[in-house]
Structure 1
């Protein structure tokens, strides 16, 4: 402990022994003082000087003329008159172009322009679909960052001024209208008109109720008709199903495919002519060819037989085709045709004739086969056989001709008539079916059907009836209010009351709410609120300056002086001789006037060697002894700073002594942090102290609420000592709540623990590396 005290006493002796050091110490102590005082006074109440800020105001308002009263009103001119006597800002009333040019050049901090339709927008604000009136604000943010916010507040003040003036004007007009209405209602004609209005409302109310009852009855009728429509829908569906079944059973494919290629009557009408005509032509050709073969003398017997066989083959094919035609006719007219023709015997006769024609052709085919066989066997043809063949051909030709004649005269006309009837029936069936489908659609319960329409109509009628009843109720209430108002309200008394002070009533209407500001933990001015931030920054800067300019290591001369003092205390009788030797050593160490070299005496050399061999002070003694000078400077800084804030600046703290105590505690912590960083890390510690200063200016919450800062500022704020230092000073200046002063005091003192651990213990483990880093920096000859 004696060594620590010796280091402290030696530091003060060195300060007293040098005038320059004393002057430097005075400057080191007063720098934080002046920094804080000047900043607090500069920000003492800046907003009270807003009247010096020039804001240009220009109005291009063209005014507004009401359709009710032929009086032109210009709200823009009224605003300019109001601002002319407003001293919140230095309002400059000018033109739009000059206002904008002044804002751009920096002559004005901002420019406010009222638009051309400003009055119209103000007086039509209560109309349907109207938008609020707008004013345009131009701010020169380059001139000053805070001026933009101030001018924005000025624009808001203009808006509030406009709203107040407009509301006051409307209120004054309303008072005048009330007086006019009172005078008007007192006349006999007005009373008679009110009686007629009451009677008319009563009559109209009765008519609406009667109409509502009629509409309700109609809705009931439509509701009763819905079941009938539902039954009709079901009946229509049954009729259509029965009709489809009947058409399918009766007309069949004759109706459904009348014009198609599969129509059986089309087969009869188009193919029968061709079949009969072809058969008749073939029989005629057969007769001619047979005659030529039988009468020919050039052909051989075998060739004649082969030619006859070819004729037989052709005839057989014709018979087969004739048979198919006959079967088709029987299929078409034998079953379906029997019903369509009503059991007409014409078909049976025609089929019998076709059977006869087929039989004649088959007989002719047999005779041709017999003739061919005889010719192959070499049997000569007699005249009887030839005549028999010709006779068979004639009979076949006659049967075919009869069939053709019977078809053309009897059957074909009936088939054609039947086709025409079926075509007409098919068209009628399609039309009737479309009628049935349309009926079903109309009666359908879908969104477009008759039943759905009836239901919607019923609901609409019910709603209409209810609205009519509601309208009648409102009219009845209006009639009752008119009657009761005439008997209870005295408009003359209201007009008399308002007429006593109409302008005062208008002011009350324009500003019905007044804000009463009650500050919790009040401070005198804005500068007082900023004092904790400026004070904390100043104390940190003061500690940082001490760490930069003052030495943190112990000079070997201090150790030698300590050893000399110890020797003096042990052998006081040798003190004089020691002083003489020391003087001689000092003289011997002076430069020679001839050589300019230093020549230490042997005694001086022995002293230095002894000091080098064994350190006089250990690490803790050096740390605590040298720190006292830093702490003393910090105490002087904080004491003068706090007393100056209280006495000279007059911040009027709620707890002056706690404010001084807070300054002592803050200075102790700050000087210890900076001193420990410099002792342990050398130049790197100084740089780290500067980094902490930068962080604490923004992240300690001294100027802006932490909630307004980015998230990472909020995250590091609890780990900064300035955060609790600022809160500690705020409690002392504005007042203590729930022990917040003691809480912040304890938290800031906790920062001493890691610093003492670093300064007394950990710095010895990193001393070698820090020493090497310092030597490397010194070798650069730059730092």
Structure 2
């Protein structure tokens, strides 16, 4: 130990023996800190300056004047007015030609063009299926991150349009009512109010029916999923392979982007599920013949297989029952929405659903009979009773009946129920369906559905949830309109002019804005960090510290000269190895102190636990320097190359910039084995707060690199000495490489 200490003191004395060596040490200490501070300052709050990004908006919209509301409504102009107050980007309002040319030249980072017929497309959703579109131009050459930021700008324009659209519809209707309030006493005004109330009632009714339809298609999709699962199991029981209809539908689900395509997928899903079920029963009789007539299977195995088949069919019968319950719920909802039978499309849909429900009940009876027959035959085999040809024929007949019953359900749904529901949708649901999409109700849901990494089953479940959510939103809006209708009707019936003025004279803009965006979000920051620069500080702290450790092994000698060994009495190799590391460890601690201390004192990086912030830097600096010192002592220049390779891997693999879950699987797999990963996790806990001792776990993960490094430096290095001498000789032969 005395020799080890003497070696450390001697190294320190030699490092301070002249001016040049002191300057070198100072450079080694300050370089990592300068690297850190420069990058942290540059990244302190870059998103606060996105207003410097020029984003062109060109409005060619000419507006639209409808027969129902005899005023010109220009959605494009209202969007432009709204964006003028938005400071997210540097909005430039210009012509279409200038916007496109400016994006190509680099004058603008991106551009959005609102087309000429935009208002018309948005306001004729009652009678047309045309979807209003924006044209987005994006210059991807200027910068890697800018397209992502300007893409958010395009989303902002789209979101503004969605909200302005819903708000304009409500505000226009309410403005008409408010204008009527000024001349409320005249008979003409009373008549207009009655007409306005009737239109309001019709629209609320349309919203309610649309909500019912969306719920209907959602439950159909749910029933399809469970039916497909049991059908797949039946096919697997009767054949060597079974096609996965869920995967096929998942491919279709990836293309779902609006209500209409989601509804189409629901119909396709049920038809696919029923087709798969029917195919399963085509093979039941053959499977039974193979089991009973085959010589390879024992009686016990045959009975067990028949019972398993019976259980599978019973499960499918249960799923058919669930489908019946769902169809009954759809029928009852439609009936309740039209109790007088005044709407032929709804009455036709109810009749079609009644017929389909009868078909599902018949199918359940067939499946129940087949299930019982298979179970009885299994009991007979257990009782040593041979299965007769008559029994086989009965099973085949029952399987055929089950297949025909399933096909009848599919035929009834495809030929009568689906067209009938489409007819109801075209008469009462088109407006509401389009409105729900224009308001953005399903946009985020469908975006999630089609994102990478989503499983097929999850995609179908997400579409079902999106349909239910859209139905809820439409139903809530319809309820609000019905409440308004009730108050207006009461005032009209009573002739209470003051009450009418109170109802109609409200601020239509405020009321419409509330209808357009009825939900607000309350955000709670968990482990809050005030500055983006503080969030990036871990990455820009430990990359420079690793570079600083590389500079140490590149600048300082990692071996002890023969003269100094003789002065110390030729100490053993482990004393030389550990003692000489002292100067490396000391300078690395100075590097960490200078870098992290400056971040706290001068940059004022956020840190809930400042001393733990410093501790994470000190431990990391010691581990990094010891890692590079050990591999350099053990492998020479090859060890330095290993240090560079580790730096390259850790820049991405440590999770300092992008979340690890966004990176490729191989990088995620190696991340826990990188020292910088644990350093970054530890300092993040010091910056934002500790959760369940995560700081100490990360420090422990960092210190876990020390034992294998000691094993390499103290034990495994000796067999490598011959290789190192051979390597040095070969390098010196070149008289170029040092």
> Please, what TM-score do these two structures have when normalized by structure 2?
0.58
Q: CA deviation at 1:73?
A: 3.1
Residue in structure 2 matching 1:617, options 563, 571, 592: 571
Deviations 1:684-741 (A, max 9, x none): 1111111111111111111111111111111111111111111001100000001111
Deviations 1:300-350 (A, max 9, x none): xxxxxxxxxxxxxxxxxxxxxxxxxxxxxxxxxxxxxxxxxxxxxxxxxxx
Distance 1:761 1:489 in 2: 101
Match of 1:361 in 2: none
Distance 2:585 2:553 in 1: 11
Deviations 1:337-392 (A, max 9, x none): xxxxxxxxxxxxxxxxxxxxxxxxxxxxxxxxxxxxxxxxxxxxxxxxxxxxxxxx
Distance 2:35 2:647 in 1: 15
Q: CA deviation at 1:760?
A: 0.8
Distance 2:530 2:162 in 1: 32
Is structure 2 residue 527 aligned with structure 1 residue 521?
yes
Is structure 2 residue 52 aligned with structure 1 residue 52?
yes
Distance 2:340 2:700 in 1: 85
- After superposition, residues 367-386 of structure 1 pair within 5 angstroms as none
Match of 2:515 in 1: 509
Residue in structure 2 matching 1:764, options 703, 718, 721: 718
- After superposition, residues 58-457 of structure 1 pair within 5 angstroms as 58-125=58-125, 127-179=126-178
Alignment check: 8 A CA contact 2:628 2:643 kept = yes
> Please, what TM-score do these two structures have when normalized by structure 1?
0.55
Alignment check: 8 A CA contact 2:599 2:605 kept = yes
Q: Are the structure 2 counterparts of residues 768 and 496 from structure 1 closer, same or farther at C-alpha, using a change threshold of 3 Å? A: same
Distance 1:547 1:150 in 2: 41
Q: CA RMSD in A?
A: 3.4
Distance 2:656 2:167 in 1: 43
Alignment check: 8 A CA contact 1:185 1:191 kept = no
Match of 1:222 in 2: none
Q: Are the structure 2 counterparts of residues 29 and 624 from structure 1 closer, same or farther at C-alpha, using a change threshold of 3 Å? A: same
Distance 1:516 1:144 in 2: 34
Which structure 2 residue ranges, 5 or more long, are not aligned? 199-337, 343-415, 425-481
Residue in structure 2 matching 1:556, options 551, 562, 575: 562
Q: CA deviation at 1:523?
A: 0.6
Q: Are the structure 2 counterparts of residues 63 and 188 from structure 1 closer, same or farther at C-alpha, using a change threshold of 3 Å? A: closer
Q: Whose radius of gyration is greater, 1 or 2?
A: 1
Match of 1:7 in 2: 7
Q: CA deviation at 1:163?
A: 2.7
Alignment check: 8 A CA contact 1:498 1:505 kept = no
Distance 2:585 2:58 in 1: 61
Q: CA deviation at 1:74?
A: 2.8
Q: CA deviation at 1:506?
A: 2.9
Q: CA deviation at 1:130?
A: 3.0
Match of 1:706 in 2: 660
Is structure 2 residue 529 aligned with structure 1 residue 530?
no
Q: Are the structure 2 counterparts of residues 727 and 491 from structure 1 closer, same or farther at C-alpha, using a change threshold of 3 Å? A: farther
Match of 1:644 in 2: 598
Instruction: Give the secondary-structure state (helix, strand or coil) at the position aligned to 1:5.
Output: helix
Q: Are the structure 2 counterparts of residues 191 and 83 from structure 1 closer, same or farther at C-alpha, using a change threshold of 3 Å? A: closer
Residue in structure 2 matching 1:655, options 604, 609, 619: 609
Distance 2:649 2:77 in 1: 51
Paired positions, count: 459
Is structure 2 residue 550 aligned with structure 1 residue 544?
yes
Q: Which range moves more in the overlay, 67-76 or 145-154? A: 67-76
Q: Are the structure 2 counterparts of residues 494 and 707 from structure 1 closer, same or farther at C-alpha, using a change threshold of 3 Å? A: farther
Match of 2:673 in 1: 719
Deviations 1:237-289 (A, max 9, x none): xxxxxxxxxxxxxxxxxxxxxxxxxxxxxxxxxxxxxxxxxxxxxxxxxxxxx
Q: Are the structure 2 counterparts of residues 191 and 688 from structure 1 closer, same or farther at C-alpha, using a change threshold of 3 Å? A: closer
Distance 1:148 1:483 in 2: 52
Q: Which range moves more in the overlay, 506-515 or 708-717? A: 506-515
Distance 1:674 1:542 in 2: 10
Distance 1:3 1:44 in 2: 48
Alignment check: 8 A CA contact 1:10 1:558 kept = no
Alignment check: 8 A CA contact 2:609 2:686 kept = yes
Instruction: Give the secondary-structure state (helix, strand or coil) at the position aligned to 2:602.
Output: helix
Q: CA deviation at 1:498?
A: 5.2
Deviations 1:85-108 (A, max 9, x none): 432211122221221111112121
Which structure 1 residue ranges, 5 or more long, are not aligned? 199-204, 210-458, 468-476, 564-615
Instruction: Give the secondary-structure state (helix, strand or coil) at the position aligned to 1:649.
Output: coil
Q: CA deviation at 1:539?
A: 1.2
Distance 1:64 1:188 in 2: 30
Distance 1:142 1:485 in 2: 62
Instruction: Give the secondary-structure state (helix, strand or coil) at the position aligned to 1:145.
Output: coil
Alignment check: 8 A CA contact 2:56 2:93 kept = yes
Alignment check: 8 A CA contact 1:696 1:720 kept = yes
Deviations 1:420-471 (A, max 9, x none): xxxxxxxxxxxxxxxxxxxxxxxxxxxxxxxxxxxxxxx9xxx9xxx9xxxx
Instruction: Give the secondary-structure state (helix, strand or coil) at the position aligned to 2:568.
Output: helix
